Amino acid sequence: LEKRHMAMTDAVSTWKAYIAATAAGHPGAYGAECARLREYGLTEIACTHFVEASEEAFVSIHLPRLCAAFDGGGGRSEAVGGPEEDAWKWVDAAVPPAIEAFAYAVTDHRRRAAALSAALHPGAVGERTDAALHLDADLVGRLGAAVATRGPGMLAAVVSHYYARRLAEFAQAVRRRERRARKGGGDDGDGGTSGDDDDDVDTDVPEDGSDDDVDGGGGDGEVDVMDINGGGGVIDMDLGDGGRHAGALGSTSASCAEVMGVAWAAELANVGRGLHGTADSSTGASAGAGTADDTSAFAAVAEAAAARALEAAVRREVSAYAAGKFDRRALPRLLRWLGAVPLEFLRTALDLDLDHLDLDLNLDSELLSLAGAPRRGASKPIRVGAAAAGSDGGNAAGGNLAGSREWRARLEYAIYEHLGALRIGEFFDIIVEFPDSLPAVEDLRQCLRRTTLHAQLTSSLRRALQRRLLIAGAPTADIIEQYRLTIRALQALDPSGVVLHVVSGPLKEYLRERKDTIRCVVTMLMGKNDSVGGSGVR
C-alpha cells in the first residue's frame, strides 16, 4: 500500500512538472520527468492535453490578432481586380507582418510539440520519429481547424488580393525589363519561334512610359491590379532559348529576386511559408519533428488564394492580347507568358520546383515549335496530386515537383479554356475575315483539343448565324458568301466535318426559302462578281 501511495505521489508530481513545463511556453522546459509519464501510462493523455492547451492559447491570443489585422481594412468585394480593387491597398502593408506573426506562433507550438515528443519517447529513433509526426499532424490539424472556424472571415480573399497585387507588380517589372533589354541589345528576333507568332510588333503596349511608376527593385503598393497587362496591353517579350530554366517553353525567364529585388521576393516567400505554418525556411518540419506543412489546412489557404489571383491574371492576359486580333497566333505567346510571369511568381510564392519541370506536358510538337521550345518526341500525360507524388518517389523534392506540374497543368488549361471561349464568342467575325483569320482558327483548334468547349462552339455559332446572318435584311448573295466562308473556316477547324454538319442545318433551310438563291449561286459560279457585292454582313 505504501509503494502504491509513493507511486501515485510520484505520478502526480511528474504530471505537475509536465504542466509547469507546458505553461513555461518554450521547448527547453520539458525535462527528464516527462519520460516518467510513459511509465505511468500517461503519454497519450499528455499529448492530448498539450494539443488542447495549444489550441486554447492559439484561439485566445493569436487568432484575435490575425482577425484584427485582416478584418479592419477596407474592401469587401472578393472579386480580384474588380471595381473595388483600390480599397484593397491596405493588404500590401497588413498581410506580411500578420502572416509572419501567425507563422511564428504556429512554429513555436510545433517546436514545443517536437520537444515534448522527444522527452516522452527517449528510446528508439524510429519510434520517436513516428510519435513526433503523429503529434505534429494532430496539432497542425487542430490549429488549422481553429483558423477555419474562428479565424478571419475573408482570409482567403485577403491573401488572394495580396497575391494579385504582387503579381501585378511583377508582371509590370518583367515588361519593363524586356523593353529595356530590347532597346539596349536590339531586336534579336523570336529566338527560334515560328513566323506565325510575330511578337516583335509592340502594338499592344503603350509607348508613353505609363507603367514607369513601378520600381523594379521593390514596389510601393501603388499599383493597380488591373495593370497586370499594362493597362491596355500585355508584356511584349522577345524570349529566346538561353533561359535559366526550360520551364517557360524555352523562354528567358527571370526570377522574382532578379526582377524585383531580394527583399521583395523574400517578403513574398515568407507569406507563402507563413500560410503553410512555417515561420521561415529553416523552421517548421526541419526544425521540429513534423512534415505536415504540405498537407496542413494552412496550405489550402495559400493555394486557393494563389489560384484565384492567377485565374484572374490569365483571364485578363488572354483578353488583352487576343481579343479582336485574328491575324496572329495568340496561344504560343500566352504559353511563353505563362512561364515568364505566373510560374516564376509561383516559384517564389509557393516554393515550386521549376528547374526540373519537363516541357513535355501534353503539348504537341507543333505547338512546342511555335512557342520556341525544342521538340522532344511524344508528349507525356500529366499526373497530378497523389499520383504524381508517388511517381516521383514520394519524397519532398518529388512532391514539390509534382506540385509544379499540377500548377503548370492548371494554368495551361486555364489559358486553353479562356482563349477557346474568347475565340468561340468571336467566331462569326473570324469567319467574316477568313482566310486572314486562319491563325485564330488554329488557336481555337488547339484549344478544342484540350478542353470540352465543342458544345459551346456549336450552340454559340448557331445563335450568331441566326442573329446576325439569317435575317430579312441580309442580301442572299452575302448569306451565300458567308456560308462559303463558314465551310472553309470549319473545315480548317474541324476536318471531320462534325461541327459543320451541326451548324449548317439552319443555313441550308433558310437558303431554300429564298426565291433568289439559285440565281445568286449561278451568278457567283459564272464569275459575275459585280452583282455579288453587297453591303456586307455585320
Count: domains in the chain: 3
Q: Are residues 413 and 432 in the same domain?
A: no
Assigned domain for 254 exists: yes
Q: Are residues 343 and 484 in the same domain?
A: no
pLDDT of residue 79: 54
Q: Specify the higher pLDDT residue, 524 or 381.
A: 524
Q: Are residues 201 and 139 in the same domain?
A: no
How far apart, in whole angstroms, are the C-alpha atoms of residue 215 and residue 259?
10
- Reply yes or no on whether the pLDDT at 341 is more than 80: yes
Q: Percent helix, strand and coil across the chain, each rounded to 5? A: 65, 0, 35
Dump pLDDT digits (tens) for 108-138.
Answer: 888 888 888 887 777 667 777 888 888 888 8
Q: Report how far apart, in Å, the C-alpha atoms of 303 and of each of 169, 242, 317, 366 are.
A: 20, 30, 21, 32
DSSP symbol at 196: T
Q: Report how far apart, in Å, the C-alpha atoms of 316 and of each of 149, 255, 327, 371 are.
A: 33, 22, 20, 20
Assigned domain for 477 exists: yes
Mean pLDDT value across residues 68-72: 76
User: What's the burial of 296, exposed, middle or buried (CB within 10 Å: 0-12/13-18/19+)?
Assistant: buried
Percentage of the residues of the chain whose pLDDT score is greater than 90: 21
Three-state DSSP class for residue 471: coil
- Reply yes or no on whether the pLDDT at 324 is more than 90: yes
pLDDT of residue 6: 61
The per-residue b/e assignment along 446-472, b for 16 or more CB within 10 angstroms, e otherwise, is bbbebbebeeebbebbbebbeeebbee
Dump pLDDT digits (tens) for 523-538.
Answer: 877 875 454 444 444 4
The phi, psi pair for 380, rounded to 5°, reads -105, 145
pLDDT of residue 447: 96
Q: Are residues 247 and 103 in the same domain?
A: no
State which residues form the domain around 498.
Answer: 424-531
Domain end residue (candidates: 155, 178, 204):
155
Q: Are residues 243 and 290 in the same domain?
A: yes
C-alpha cell at position 315: 483571364
Mean pLDDT value across residues 283-289: 39
How far apart, in whole angstroms, are the C-alpha atoms of residue 145 and residue 151?
9
**Radius of gyration of the chain from its Cα atoms, rounded to whole angstroms:** 30
pLDDT of residue 432: 92
Q: Are residues 414 and 448 in the same domain?
A: no
Least confident of 70-79, 281-290, 309-318: 281-290
Task: Give the dihedral of Cα atoms 290, 293, 297, 303; nearest 10 deg.
Answer: 180
The per-residue b/e assignment along 117-153, b for 16 or more CB within 10 angstroms, e otherwise, is bbbbbeeeeeebeebbbebbbbbbebbbebbeeebbe
Residue 402 C-beta-side C-alpha neighbours within 13 Å: 18
Least confident of 179-193, 276-290, 403-417, 481-495: 276-290
* Mean of the per-residue pLDDT values of the chain: 72
The phi, psi pair for 361, rounded to 5°, reads -115, 80
**CB atoms inside a 10 Å sphere around CB 35:** 17
Q: Are residues 36 and 103 in the same domain?
A: yes
Contacts of 150 (CB under 8 A, 6+ apart): 59, 63
Q: Are residues 403 and 378 in the same domain?
A: yes
Residue 54 C-beta-side C-alpha neighbours within 13 Å: 32
- Reply yes or no on whether the pLDDT at 141 is more than 70: yes
In contact, 299 and 209? CB cutoff 8 Å: no
Which range has the top average pLDDT, 104-108, 127-131, 150-154? 104-108
Mean pLDDT value across residues 175-182: 85
- Reply yes or no on whether the pLDDT at 212 is more than 70: no
Mean pLDDT value across residues 426-449: 94
Assigned domain for 345 exists: yes
Q: At residue 210, what is the residue type? A: S
